[in-house]
Amino acid sequence: MESCRAILIQHSRWSETSLLVTWLTDRFGTLRTAARGALRPGSAFHGKLDLFHQCEISLTLSRTTTLHSLREAVLIRPFSPVCASYAAMALASYFAELGAALAPPMQAAPEFHDLLTRALDHLTQAPPTHKALLHFESEAARLSGVLDSRGQPPPASALARLCGGLPASRQTALKAL
């Protein structure tokens, strides 16, 4: 069994009682897990598997698929105030989607996990702004190594080339700001 710090960036129903959960982790980059029984009354996962919650997770890694089994989630920090406004939620969603696109699956990505943690922390303390979006993109491009010493090309362009395009949630975030 493995454990790591993780931020929940996406979840969807998998069955009547289970969820598919996508995490941005410090040890494994972007990681998908099956949380079996998470929707049952009295589940140990109750209240822990919400968007942008930071958890210490324990999981069993699959040797044959990219879907791993979530065994335990201990809530470290809920970034709940992010969900208080539509603009903050839209910006947090963009940050999470871009971070997931940049963090390689099943490879350590502590720098992207830390960047997303700092961004969500900022959104809990200050209103969402266009400046925050640009700063996140600039830091993500720097961490990815796609900017030269003068910060060229522009971070959004560099990230778009690296990822094959920026997530569509960027436009939603820009409209909400």
How many H-runs (helices) and E-runs (strands) does the chain carry? 5, 5
Say yes or no to pLDDT of 80 above 80: no
Q: What is the pTM of this model?
A: 0.92
Give CATH 2.40.50.140 domain extents, the chain. 2-78
Instruction: With beta carbons less than 8 A apart as the criterion, state whether 25 and 6 touch.
Output: yes
Q: Which helix (H) or strand (E) holds 161?
A: helix 155-163
Alpha helices in 62-153 (DSSP H): 86-102, 110-125, 130-144
Say yes or no to pLDDT of 104 above 80: yes
Residues whose CB is less than 8 angstroms from the CB of residue 170 and which lie 6 or more positions away in sequence, other chains included? 94, 98, 133, 156
Least confident of 32-36, 80-84, 154-158: 80-84
User: Which residues sit opposite 69 in a β-bridge?
Assistant: 34, 60
Q: In angstroms, rounded to a whole number, what is the distance separating the alpha carbons of residues 164 and 83?
A: 29
**Computed from CA positions of residues 128, 7, 95, 84, in that sequence, does the dihedral angle turn out positive or negative?**
negative
For domain 2-78, the CATH superfamily is Nucleic acid-binding proteins (2.40.50.140)
Say yes or no to pLDDT of 22 above 80: yes
Q: In angstroms, rounded to a whole number, what is the distance separating the alpha carbons of residues 87 and 108?
A: 30
Q: In angstroms, rounded to a whole number, what is the distance separating the alpha carbons of residues 120 and 143?
A: 17
In this prediction, residues 158-171 reach a mean pLDDT of 94
* Residue of 96, 123, 127 lying closest to 112 (CA atoms): 96
In this prediction, residues 114-136 reach a mean pLDDT of 95
In this prediction, residues 68-76 reach a mean pLDDT of 95
Write down the pLDDT at residue 79: 85
Q: In angstroms, rounded to a whole number, what is the distance separating the alpha carbons of residues 128 and 114?
A: 19
